[in-house]
Amino acid sequence: MLEKLALIENRYEELEGMIADPEVINRQEEWRQLVKEHASLEEIVARYREIKKIEEEVKGAGELLQETEDREFRVMIEQELDELNLRQEALLQELKLLLLPKDPMDEKNVVMEIRSGAGGEEAALFGAVLFRMYSRYAERQGWKIDVMNSNFTELGGVKELIFTIEGQGAYSRLKYESGVHRVQRVPTTESGGRIHTSTATVAVLPEAEDVDVELNPNDLRIDVFRSSGHGGQSVNTTDSAVRVTHLPTGMVVSCQDEKSQLKNKEKAIKILKSRLLDMARREKEMEYAQNRRSQVGTGDRSERIRTYNYPQGRVTDHRIGLTIHQLEDFLDGNLDEVLDALAHAEQAEKLQAAEG
């Protein structure tokens, strides 16, 4: 491991020289890639250098220990050695996590899809609650949200809502949200006071860039139609809504939120590319999943991942058995406690697999 870290430090120093070279700076695309690689190694190198510094301090303290016979001084040196060894062990553990293979999708923006599940209107209303929750979280992170396609009920519930979230590391944080979200509460549409259970499904896809997915225009069928609102009534007098069908897979994406047919087409193709990228990624992961089922990961979309219990004010994530009693806070976009726990659980699982 230390040999690998020495090579990483050499590469880091090489990159420092390259990104300061005026000739490389003029080649902007190459320079950006080098800066990105340099930044990705910074944390690893900082910890490795701290380990090397500790090794020097341990060596010096060991020499002092051999040279002195003063009992009190020896006790002080031994305490210092214990502290240095503990810090070194902690750094090595941190480095093991930093050296784990990173998900290449982590830095991407995301395309999120929310759909109502079991529970009729109450499920749709809960879908709207989830959208507000993710919007508030994105706002807290300084990320940008753009609604791509929406289908609301007359009461403002979500039948289907597709939106993008743009921001650094958005996928790395939100990828754990894919799956079935269950709510237990007294429906707002009832006065009987009985607790109902409803569900909404969430899909989180890494947003595809042009280099990720290449679409053959001959593989696409483009249909246009009139946008419709609540209850199916026409909300536009022109055929601005667009339906894109990917013929090889049968995948269909519709967009109608924009008044421009061209903008709806662009959004539909963006969603289609992200779905195709996600499908290709899942196919690659299938072999790994057959050998060893991940407990956290990005989740099966048919799997119940979380329960939101209103009467008890609690949120339970079933994948890691975590329950918090700040439902209102959580629904207001304070997701970090649960997202951090999921990320740590996945890291621990990867580390166990690497060491096993």
Let me know whether 131 and 84 are in one domain: no
| Residue 356 lies inside a defined structural domain of this protein | no
Let me know whether 273 and 141 are in one domain: yes
Q: What is the pLDDT of residue 235?
A: 47
Q: Determine how β-strand 110-116 pairs with β-strand 196-206.
A: antiparallel
pLDDT per residue as tens digits for the range 164-208: 999 988 999 999 999 999 999 988 777 667 888 999 999 998 888
How many domains does one find in the chain?
2
Q: What is the pLDDT of residue 232?
A: 46
Full domain range(s) for residue 334: 110-351
Residue 261 in tokens:
């047919």
| Residue 161 lies inside a defined structural domain of this protein | yes
Q: How many residues does the chain have?
A: 356
Q: How much is the average pLDDT of 220-227?
A: 85
Question: Residue 224 maps to which CATH number?
Answer: 3.30.70.1660
Q: What is the pLDDT of residue 258?
A: 82
- Determine the Cα angle at 293 with ends 289 and 296, to 5°: 110
Domain boundary (73, 98, 123) is at 98
Q: Which residues of 108-135 are buried (b: 16+ CB within 10 A; e: fewer)?
A: bbbbbbbbbbebebbbbbbbbbbbebbb
Distance of CA 215 to the CA centre of its chain: 25
Q: What is the pLDDT of residue 2?
A: 79
Q: How much is the average pLDDT of 107-134?
A: 93
pLDDT band at 210 (very low <50, low <70, confident <90, very high): low
| Residue 105 lies inside a defined structural domain of this protein | no
- Which one of 118-122, 140-144, 186-190, 251-255 scores highest in mean pLDDT? 140-144
Let me know whether 88 and 124 are in one domain: no
| Residue 248 lies inside a defined structural domain of this protein | yes
- Which one of 3-7, 110-114, 346-350 scores highest in mean pLDDT? 110-114
pLDDT at 356 over 80: no
Let me know whether 78 and 177 are in one domain: no
Domain boundary (67, 98, 129) is at 98
Domain boundary (49, 70, 98) is at 98
Long-range contacts of 189-197 (CB under 8 A, 24+ apart): 189/121, 189/122, 189/125, 189/155, 195/310, 195/311, 196/119, 196/122, 197/118, 197/119
Let me know whether 130 and 214 are in one domain: yes
SS (H, E, C) the chain: CHHHHHHHHHHHHHHHHHHCCHHHHHCHHHHHHHHHHHHHHHHHHHHHHHHHHHHHHHHHHHHHHHHCCCHHHHHHHHHHHHHHHHHHHHHHHHHHHHCCCCCCCCCCCEEEEEEECCCHHHHHHHHHHHHHHHHHHHHHHCCEEEEEEEEECCCCCEEEEEEEEECCCHHHHHHHHCEEEEEEECCCCCCCCCCEEEEEEEEEEECCCCCCCCCCHHHEEEEEECCECHHHCECCCCCCEEEEEECCCCEEEEECCCCCHHHHHHHHHHHHHHHHHHHHHHHHHHHHHHHCCCCCCCCCCCCEEEEEECCCCEEEECCCCEEECCHHHHHCCCCHHHHHHHHHHHHHHHHHHHHC
Let me know whether 167 and 203 are in one domain: yes
pLDDT at 27 over 50: yes
| Residue 146 lies inside a defined structural domain of this protein | yes
Please provide residue 351's backbone torsions phi and psi, each rounded to the nearest 5 degrees.
-65, -40
Let me know whether 221 and 78 are in one domain: no
Let me know whether 92 and 138 are in one domain: no
Q: Determine how β-strand 179-185 pairs with β-strand 158-166.
A: unpaired
Let me know whether 123 and 179 are in one domain: yes
Let me know whether 94 and 134 are in one domain: no
pLDDT band at 298 (very low <50, low <70, confident <90, very high): very low
Let me know whether 57 and 136 are in one domain: no
pLDDT band at 234 (very low <50, low <70, confident <90, very high): very low
Let me know whether 67 and 194 are in one domain: no
CB burial class (10 A; 0-12, 13-18, 19+) of residue 262? exposed
* Cα–Cα distance list, 156 to 129, 172, 266 (Å): 10, 30, 26
- Predicted TM-score (pTM) of the model is 0.70
| Residue 104 lies inside a defined structural domain of this protein | no
